[in-house]
């Protein structure tokens, strides 16, 4: 495949130019870097089943839609010490006498670490199951399944992608497997390749797809099984058991370094506000994590704005208030961050978008005099928007005809309205500072960089877990790795029934079973700490710089604040209890050694 | 000073939130990190004078404008081995019996490493000259000199800024010391503070200013001396002796990581072209360095475009050609980088800008029907521009009424014209690929990040050298550190007469003495290697990812390709010759030991 080959076999033009056509030193070193496996995957392990599962909500409906896969117990990979027997009820796992054949798909936007899912699956198959096992990689996302486009992921091919960023070994895509024809074609290619299992690497939609494929395969008697792997830099595929989706760590670290530099730039030049939009369409996890890492003067969290029912002009006014207060302190600079999906959380913009979408649905194209067709509130809002944003609302549409919210440059929208508000105050004589706002968007550069050690380890473990689940006959599961605030060797691995994560939601006019998205919860530690700290950040310039991603030295294994705050205390407690129990067992005091 | 204090003394809101208000671990570690000094500054050294200097051009004119400082010899800091005598003609440097009092100004846009110039000057003064020496930092750039705003840079204050990014210990600004009143005020504040010397940290303009100040002080009998330090991320303050300006290394590394991620994103999603503008107004060094590091499909070098006399539409057509050829290879993606100052290098845009500026000069504001007042070629070009860019040309102006080229979003301009060209070809049926272009600007985030080890070491050495020059009585000099491809301990330090770097140039209608800017030279190794390699990069996707800035491990001391290619071979040769000579000397074979 061209992309795969080209990425590594950089041609030499002539003697002497090796310098500029070979890989970079760090890239080469990362190719050879060895991730640390969780203990269960380092040696012998057994599968231990949990109790029967349910669904996040709408149990009866989900059960009726997934009759063959609903209610499965979760399974945990439990390490076995050498020579020890498996615990009661556990199934020890051993090498297979026959090779296992798997397929894998990378779905949706890229996220750092995807290639390590591939190497994790491959290495488990070849090293733990049977040396002649085979892994096929479908090209360009789910369309590769439908169109039967694939390559074999050999050890030789994967050697070029270990610990590297991007999804370019296979490519990715956003096609959904939805129609009966799609499912039939997917089944056909899996049958032709004699696949024992299929790994779907993706976000909530892709993993919903994985659940549907698993159900379809069981219902139609295909032997191919299907498991998912939780990917998304947005961090919104998450719940009690799924501590984090992969890619979030690397993306937030990349963005945090940039935002910290913008904060330092602001306070150095002392004359400009940087307004920076960060990726994160449906949830504001990235913005919250970057805020906790860098302490900007303002961070807008969509979920909070929504909970308060704040409209667009209220948001702009509140920012103008902060700028005005800082101006009185002779601070004519600052840094403001906001999530890509902010406009979706604003009730007034949300209402306007809804009305525009309805107008299009009714008229196919928008009528010439749009405002005449809008409610007074939406018409007023629309008229107040800058020309470029109004054009974005009227222009590009997604395949369903809807406004493409991700294309709205919300940082420019907010900057424009804040400027207008400050100009109004200048005219009234209530603001005397200068007005200089520079806008930024941080997104694409965080999706494909070299994965952090965390994401490299995490994805390798996720890939091995997914392969272990499929090799053991599981289907309709999400590969999960837990205990992520502990060192990687102490992580635990399991399979969670995908239906357990689902509920029914209204999508494009239909009730559909979907994996529930995790939004920022205002009652959880990350937001609470943010809320507690931000008054100081507003006025006192507590800028913090976590620096660039480190691969060596004492800071190479830093994890996100989100994980630390959400999981740290609990996992610290668990670790202490485990240590105490082990200590007591060793000392033979209270309990007998049961290993 | 508020900014300085706030940046470090992050307040604790309440017990338990220390986590989010304290400095980041890497930040803390960098505060304690110790730069490596060049050998001359590690122990005893002597000053060795070179021969009399001249100027880059216009010798008679420069000499007449700088009668008191023109023609000075350069000086080199030569290390003395313990117990050895200074070489003939050298002045050994020893501690002073009286404290030395210096002032320092950070001028222009921030660049990573600026704080280490401060600590370098301070540490030299206190540790090498006299413990009671004093360093004053003028606030917010040269205006701090004029307005007599300053703080004392104590060890305690500087402890919060060691190896940190930004210029916020003092702030910066772009005020020029130009009028007689400015010079008089500058002299007055230096006199009142009893300064022995003044350090100006800045780019070519600021160092031209340093030369003027030095001349003024000598001419008017003020005892304060003045030296400059070469700063600019753009890398255009450079010549035979000044191997690199500081900040270029950190900025290029920051940008390269981002561009590499955009390349990986392009080849992963396989459906989008990323068009990325990089800082660098007058010269394209940053774009060239980032191209050598990352191998994008296209990198536009302004100096080459100018040399070829390519117009805007020719540039757009050549990019469209590459996109069309790649589409035939089923590659509907790629990465294109270009310098901020591209439009200045395009003869047609340059002509249009000139005509617009003349129109404004003649009419104060632009007439309503602009195109009627332009030449046919400029009118046609103006009419072909997208609305937003036309507005940028007509709107914001700098204080001199000129179009602010830096505000023109050249990446959007190029993207728009390439789109139009591809659409045209689609209509003609000669292009069948898709058209999806996303634009980016990388700039501010590269100016204020934590400095790389290179910039941290380099700036610390520059600061110490500047202090050594001033303490020894030098004036009108630029602090220079050479041998930058060697390990820092092997770097050599010197002072170069600022007038040696100057020529006369026409600026705002007047002939002025200025330090000559270094543009990309098409005959030098960096461009030559780029030119030699880029055909492969265009079509074969040789993307290369140097990764993020590392502070630990084997890649923490990587230097730029620009330095490696420009200076590496020569300095390698020097090092070998030195090693051989030392070896022979030790063996007593050919030459006598003269140390």
Following DSSP, what letter does each residue of B539-561 receive, concatenated? HH-------SPPSSSTTTT---H
DSSP B81: -
Q: Which of A267, A291, A485 to mutate to test the interface with B (most CBs of B within 10 A)?
A: A267
Same domain, B528 and B500: no
**Nearest residue of B to residue A291, measured between CA atoms:** B20
Distances (CA, A) of A227 to A49, A93, A102, A283: 16, 18, 11, 25
The answer to whether B407 contacts chain A (CB < 8 Å) is no
Residues A439 and A458 in one domain: no
The answer to whether A30 and A119 have CB atoms below 8 angstroms apart is no
In the structure, what pLDDT confidence band is assigned to residue B17 with cuts at 50, 70 and 90? very low
Please give the helix or strand (H or E) that residue A443 lies within, else none.
Answer: none
Nearest to A437 by CA among A258, A262, A265, A271: A271
Average pLDDT of span B371-398: 85
Question: Between A and B, how many CB-CB pairs are < 8 A?
Answer: 292
Q: Which is the catalytic residue, given B123, B196, B205, B234?
A: B234
pLDDT at B2 over 70: no
What's the CA gap between B437 and A51, in Å, rounded?
50
Name the region of B328 (left: φ>0; alpha: ψ -120 to 50; beta: rest): alpha
- DSSP letter for B449, please: S
Which residues partner with B138 through β-bridges? B150
Contact of A187 with A430, CB cutoff 8 Å: no
Q: Which of A582-586, B274-278, B322-326, B478-482 has the lowest mean pLDDT?
A: A582-586
Q: Is A493 exposed, middle or buried (0-12, 13-18, 19+ CB in 10 A)?
A: buried
Q: What is the mean pLDDT of residues B390-397?
A: 76
A536: Cα separation from own chain's centroid: 30
Sequential DSSP letters for A220-274: TT---EEEEEEB-TT--S--SS----BTHHHHHHHHHHHHHHHHHHHHHH-S-EE
By Cβ distance, the residue of B168, B536, B549 closest to A268 is B168
- Which of A64-78, B375-389, B577-591 is predicted least confidently? B577-591
Task: Note whether residue B456 is domain-resident.
Answer: yes
A288 and A419 within one domain: yes
Least confident of A193-207, A396-410, B184-198, B524-538: A396-410
Domain assignment present for residue A16? The answer is no
**CA dist B282 → B341, B343, B409 (Å):** 6, 10, 15
H-assigned helices in A128-203: 143-146, 155-158, 180-192
**A167, A269, A541 member nearest B268 (Cβ):** A167
Q: Please tell me whether residues B64 and B200 are part of one structural domain.
A: yes
Q: For a pLDDT cut of 90, what percent of chain B falls above it? A: 77
The minimum CA-CA distance between B7 and chain A, rounded to whole Å, is 6
Does residue A401 contact residue A361 with C-beta atoms inside 8 Å?
yes
Does A265 sit within 8 Å of B2, measured CB to CB? no
d(CA A141, CA A139): 6
What are the residues whose beta carbons fall under 8 Å from the beta carbon of A63, sequence distance 6 or more? Answer: A55, A70, A71, A499
End-to-end CA distance of chain A: 49
Higher pLDDT residue, A240 or B66?
Answer: B66
If asked whether residues B440 and B456 sit together in one domain, one would say no
Nearest CA in chain B to A260: B449
Residues B123, B126, B130, B133: what is their CA dihedral angle, to the nearest 10 degrees? 110
What pTM value is reported for the model?
0.93
CB atoms within 10 A of CB B299: 26
Cβ of residue A391 closer than 8 Å to a chain B Cβ: no
CA B278 from chain center: how many Å? 13
A160 touches chain B (CB under 8 A): no
> Is residue A533 within 8 angstroms of chain B, CB to CB?
yes
* Residue B87, domain member (yes or no): no
How far is it, in rounded angstroms, from Cα B300 to Cα B336? Answer: 8
Give the integer Cα–Cα distance in Å for B481 and A412: 43
Q: Can you give the length of chain B in residues? A: 595
Contacts of A549 in chain B (CB under 8 A): 547-548
- Check whether residue B206 and residue B268 sit in a common domain: no
Residues within 8 A of B (CB atoms), A 428-487 only:
438, 440-441, 444-450
**Does the residue A230 lie in any domain?**
yes
In a domain, B84, yes or no: no
Confirm if B255 and B286 have CB atoms less than 8 A apart.
yes
Could you give the C-alpha distances from A105 to A209, A347, B205, B379, in angstroms and in order? 12, 37, 55, 52
| Domain-embedded: residue B195 | yes
Query: Cα separation of A117 and A119, whole Å?
Result: 6
Domain annotation covers residue A545? no
* Least confident piece of the model among A14-23, A530-539, B198-207, B481-490: A14-23
Helix A376-384 vs helix A347-363: crossing angle, to nearest 10: 100
Nearest CA in chain B to A166: B264
Cα dihedral A226, A232, A238, A243 in deg (nearest 10): 90
**Is the domain of A262 the same as that of A396?**
yes
Rounded Cα gap, residues A347 and A354, in angstroms: 10
Of all residues in chain A, the one with the smallest CA distance to B30 is A547
pLDDT of the residue at A354:
86
Greatest mean pLDDT range, A509-518, B12-21, B260-269 = B260-269
> Do B349 and B279 lie in a common domain?
yes
N-to-C CA span, chain B: 49
Average pLDDT over residues B498-520: 92
Q: Record the tokens describing residue B274, joined without a space.
A: 């990323």
Positions of A annotated as catalytic residues are 234
Question: 3-class SS at B106?
Answer: strand
Q: What is the CATH classification number for the domain harbouring A318?
A: 3.40.50.460
pLDDT at B399: 62
A226 and A108 share one domain: yes
How far is the alpha carbon of A446 from chain B, nearest alpha carbon, in Å? 7
Quick one: pLDDT at residue B294?
97
Q: Three-state SS for A347?
A: helix
The parts of chain A modelled with pLDDT lower than 70 are 1-21, 82-86, 364, 396-401, 406, 585-586, 588-595
Whether the complex's predicted ipTM surpasses the cut of 0.90: yes
Please check whether residue A62 is in contact with residue A504, taking contact to mean a CB–CB distance below 8 angstroms: yes
What is the model's pLDDT at position A589? 53
* Interface test mutation site (partner A, options B547, B552, B572, max chain A beta carbons within 10 A): B547
The total domain count for chain A is 2
DSSP state of A397: B
CA atoms within 13 A on the CB side of A177: 28
Portion 237-276 of B in contact with A at CB < 8 A: 254, 257-258, 260-262, 264-265, 267-270, 274
C-alpha B113: how far from its chain's center?
A: 11
Q: Identify the pLDDT of residue A369.
A: 84
- Residue at which a domain ends, from A476, A499, A515: A515
Across the interface, of B260, B542, B547, the residue whose CB is closest to A6 is B542
Q: Is A13 on the interface with B (CB under 8 A)?
A: yes
Chain B residues with CB under 8 Å of A440 CB are 441, 444-445
Taking CA atoms, A91 is separated from A48, A76, A210, B180, B312, in Å, by: 7, 10, 25, 89, 69
Cα of A465 to nearest chain B Cα, Å: 24
DSSP lists the bridge partners of residue A515 as A502
Q: Three-state DSSP class for A504?
A: strand
Residue ranges making up the domain that contains B296? 254-445+523-540
User: At B505, is the secondary structure helix, strand, or coil?
Assistant: strand
Model confidence at B8: pLDDT above 90: no
CATH number of the domain that residue A486 is part of: 3.40.50.450
CB-nearest partner of A172 from B10, B269, B446: B269
B378 located within any domain: yes
- In chain B, which residues have their Cβ closer than 8 Å to the Cβ of A293? 24
* Residue B392: predicted pLDDT: 78
pLDDT, averaged across chain B: 90
Q: DSSP readout, A554-582?
A: TTTT---HHHHHHHHHHHHHHHHHHHHHH
pLDDT value of position B87: 73
Tell whether B319 and B409 lie within a shared domain: yes
Residue in chain A lying closest to B257 (CA): A449
Chain A nearest-CA residue for B530:
A20
- Specify whether B380 is located in the same domain as B527: yes
> What is the H or E stretch that residue A277 is in?
strand A273-278
pLDDT band at B401 (very low <50, low <70, confident <90, very high): low
In tens, the pLDDT along A237-291 reads 999 899 999 999 999 999 999 999 999 999 999 999 999 999 998 999 999 999 9
Going by pLDDT thresholds of 50, 70 and 90, the confidence category of residue B589 is low
Q: In chain B, what residues touch A7 (CB-CB under 8 Å)?
A: 267, 541, 543
Q: Are residues B265 and B170 in the same domain?
A: no
Tell the residue number behind the tokens 């989706």, with chain if given: A245
Residue B139: is its pLDDT beyond 90?
Answer: yes
B280 at the A interface (CB within 8 A)? no
What crossing angle do the helices spanning B347-363 and B387-394 adopt, rounded to 10°?
50
Q: Do B440 and A444 touch (CB under 8 A)?
A: yes
Residue B527 to residues A107, B286, B533: CA-CA distances in angstroms?
39, 12, 10
Tokens of A232: 């998304």
Give the nearest partner residue to A168 out of B168, B264, B536, using CB atoms: B264
């Amino acid at each position: 495949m061209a992309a795969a080959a080209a990425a590594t076999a950089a041609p030499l033009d002539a003697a002497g130019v090796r310098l500029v056509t070979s890989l970079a030193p760090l890239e080469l070193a990362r190719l050879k870097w060895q991730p640390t496996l969780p203990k269960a995957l380092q040696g012998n392990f057994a599968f231990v089943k949990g109790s029967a599962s349910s669904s996040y909500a709408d149990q009866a409906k989900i059960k009726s839609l997934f009759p063959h896969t609903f209610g499965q117990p979760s399974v945990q990979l439990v390490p076995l010490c050498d020579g020890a027997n498996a615990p009661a009820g556990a199934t020890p796992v051993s090498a297979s006498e026959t090779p296992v054949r798997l397929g894998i798909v990378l779905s949706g936007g890229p996220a750092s670490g995807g290639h390590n899912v591939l190497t994790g699956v491959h290495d488990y198959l070849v090293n733990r199951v049977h040396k002649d096992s085979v892994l096929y990689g479908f090209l360009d996302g789910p369309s590769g399944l439908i169109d039967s486009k694939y390559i074999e992921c050999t050890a030789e091919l994967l050697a070029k992608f270990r610990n590297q960023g991007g999804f370019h070994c296979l490519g990715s895509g956003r096609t959904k497997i939805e129609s009966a024809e799609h499912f039939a074609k997917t089944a056909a290619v899996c049958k032709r390749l004699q696949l024992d299992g299929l790994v779907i690497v993706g976000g909530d939609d892709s993993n919903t797809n994985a659940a549907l494929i698993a159900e379809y395969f069981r219902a139609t008697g295909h032997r191919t099984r299907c498991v998912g792997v939780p990917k998304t830099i947005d961090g919104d595929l998450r719940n009690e058991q799924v501590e984090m989706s992969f890619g979030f760590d690397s993306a937030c670290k990349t963005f945090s370094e940039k935002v910290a530099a913008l904060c330092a730039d602001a306070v150095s030049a002392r004359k400009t506000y940087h307004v920076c939009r960060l990726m994160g369409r449906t949830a504001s996890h990235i913005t919250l994590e970057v805020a906790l890492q860098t302490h900007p003067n303002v961070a807008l969290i969509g979920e909070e704005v929504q909970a308060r029912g704040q409209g667009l002009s209220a948001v702009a006014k509140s920012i103008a208030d902060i700028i005005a207060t800082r101006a009185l302190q002779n601070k004519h600079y600052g840094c403001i961050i906001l999530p890509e999906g902010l406009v979706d959380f604003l009730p007034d913009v949300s209402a306007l978008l809804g009305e525009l979408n309805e107008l299009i649905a009714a008229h196919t194209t928008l009528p010439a005099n749009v405002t005449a067709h809008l409610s007074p509130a939406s018409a007023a809002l629309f008229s107040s928007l800058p020309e470029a944003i109004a054009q974005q609302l009227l222009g590009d549409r997604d395949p369903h005809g809807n406004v493409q919210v991700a294309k709205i440059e919300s940082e420019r929208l907010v900057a424009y309205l804040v400027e207008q508000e400050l100009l109004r105050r200048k005219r009234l004589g209530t603001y005397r500072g200068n007005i200089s706002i520079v806008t930024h968007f941080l997104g694409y550069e965080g999706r494909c960089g070299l994965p952090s050690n965390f994401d490299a380890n995490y994805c390798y473990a996720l890939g091995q877990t997914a392969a272990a689940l499929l090799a053991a006959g599981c289907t309709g599961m999400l590969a999960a790795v837990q205990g992520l605030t502990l060192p990687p060797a102490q992580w635990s691995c399991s399979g969670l029934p995908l239906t357990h994560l689902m509920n029914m939601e209204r999508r494009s006019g239909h009730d559909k079973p979907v994996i529930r998205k995790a939004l920022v919860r205002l009652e959880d530690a990350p937001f609470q700490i943010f809320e507690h700290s931000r008054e100081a950040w507003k006025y006192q310039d507590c800028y913090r710089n976590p620096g660039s991603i480190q691969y060596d030295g004492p800071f190479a294994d830093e994890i996100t604040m989100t994980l630390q705050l959400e999981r740290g205390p609990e996992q610290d407690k668990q670790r202490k209890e485990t240590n105490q129990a082990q200590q007591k067992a060793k000392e033979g005091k209270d309990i007998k050694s049961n290993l």
